[in-house]
Amino acid sequence: MRCKVLVLFFVLLKLSNSYAVTRYSVQDGDWNNVLTWSDSTVPNSTDSIYIRHFIRFHESITIDSAGFLMIDSQGVLCGHSGIYSKCGGFFYNYNLVRADSLVIKDGSNFGLIVYLKYFQISPCLQNFWTGTSKGGYAFTCGLFDTVFNDSPETDTVISHPIIPLFSVSVYPNPFLSYFIINTEVSNINSNVTLNIYNLLGRKIDSIIVPDAKTITFT
């Protein structure tokens, strides 16, 4: 009877881990803002989390034993708090992380980690590849990168240019006699021209996007 109970417990444990929820960022923003995440839900410590944008955090992030956190090659995770993983919780960085402190158990760092206080590695299930890390830096969470030299006093801060953002949605689709174009424009100081092409690749119209950002086309 004891063996059966142990087997059943193991099966239930595996099933509970297999239902971990996947969350990924959909835009730049704060960790605790629901608009930052898929399904409009802030991740928790047991989720599988993928950072694809510039994400700021203001409270400590915990990666639980069933959790997973990955910063991909386009993502940045920055905050004046800590990142802590438990045994079995995996942390992977492929670009840039800035945090006051980190305690990481399992995973790898293939990018750059900048920390103010400490970066502690305590492998549990696998060896952690440390990659590149820089300690003792009083960073800020702005949209910039840093060229690291011999000491924080000689580092160079490089500002990124503001990236223009322009998105378009069309409805109804398919349409009969007309369709409506909704546009979202930000970080653009000049006029935006919307070109419309048919299925043969011929341009049939050219429209200056108005301030109202809604166009009815017949």
Measured distance CA(24)–CA(32) in Å, rounded:
13
Strand ranges inside 136-189, DSSP E: 144-147, 156-159, 165-171, 179-186
| Token pair for 103 | 């305690």
- pLDDT by residue for the chain (218 residues), tens only, comes to 443 333 333 333 333 344 469 999 999 989 999 999 999 999 999 999 999 999 999 999 999 988 999 999 989 999 999 999 999 899 999 999 999 999 998 888 888 999 999 998 888 876 667 778 888 887 878 655 444 444 444 444 444 444 455 566 777 777 777 777 776 665 555 667 777 777 777 888 887 766 545 555 55
- Cα separation, 118 vs 123, in Å, equals 16
Backbone phi, then psi, for 144, in 5-degree steps? Answer: -145, 165
What is the pTM (predicted TM-score) of this model?
0.60
Under a CB-based contact definition with an 8 Å cutoff, are residues 155 and 146 in contact?
yes
At residue 18, φ and ψ (nearest 5 deg) are -70, -15
